[in-house]
Amino acid sequence: MRHNAAMTESASPHYVLGFPPAAHPGARVLVLGTMPGVASLAAVRYYAHPRNAFWPISATLLGFDLALPYEARIQALNDAGVALWDVLAACERPGSLDAAIDSQSAQANDFAGFLAAHPHIRRICFNGGSAQALFRRHVLPALSQSHPDMAYAALPSTSPAHAAMPFAAKLQAWRPIVPD
């Protein structure tokens, strides 16, 4: 899964583009971040920062080997019925912190199109408060009409910037990513 996450030539050096979703049509749960960080953009991989807890949590909860190559980890998520994406398709953000996102530049992904192509998704889980806040602001007003039965789960951020919560507590809080 290779994606073009390069910065656009005409935009500022802080303008970043996200990745396409990592999803199979039968997905039942969608996990949303905000926008890939610098390490992820450089590696062209979701959650590439070595201290991000996303992959250890997912491997534990979904029962796959954390040592698998990236493409196999994505496949394991998909096989478990979990899709992975970000709220934003593009934004201006110097660095990796969600707090540095220029809210005026934020462009949401096409969730109506995504959910039409993935009709079995019944739960959207947010990797951190920023993802949830951006979704509420940019996506939910339109989506609540077309998907009134969608369930939502706010999860603690797996980012190394959110290190105050111990791994065991994050692991317990992330149980909603396991499809029913």
pLDDT, tens digit only, all 180 positions of the chain = 334 444 444 457 899 999 999 999 999 999 999 999 999 999 999 999 999 999 999 999 999 999 999 999 999 999 999 999 999 999 999 988 888 999 899 999 999 999 999 999 999 999 999 999 999 999 999 888 888 899 999 999 999 887 789 999 999 999 999 998
CA dist., res. 111 & res. 116, Å (int): 8
CA dist., res. 95 & res. 5, Å (int): 15
CATH of 15-177, one of 3.40.470.10, 3.30.2350.10, 3.40.50.300, 3.40.50.880: 3.40.470.10
Beta-strand relationship, 29-33 and 15-17: unpaired
pLDDT of residue 146: 87
CA dist., res. 99 & res. 115, Å (int): 27
In the chain, domain spans: 15-177
Q: What is the pTM of this model?
A: 0.91
pLDDT of residue 9: 42
The two three-digit tokens of residue 106, written as one number? 């934020």
Phi/psi for 136 (5° steps) reads -60, -40
pLDDT of residue 11: 56
pLDDT of residue 96: 87
CB atoms within 10 A of CB 1: 12
Beta-strand relationship, 123-127 and 151-155: parallel
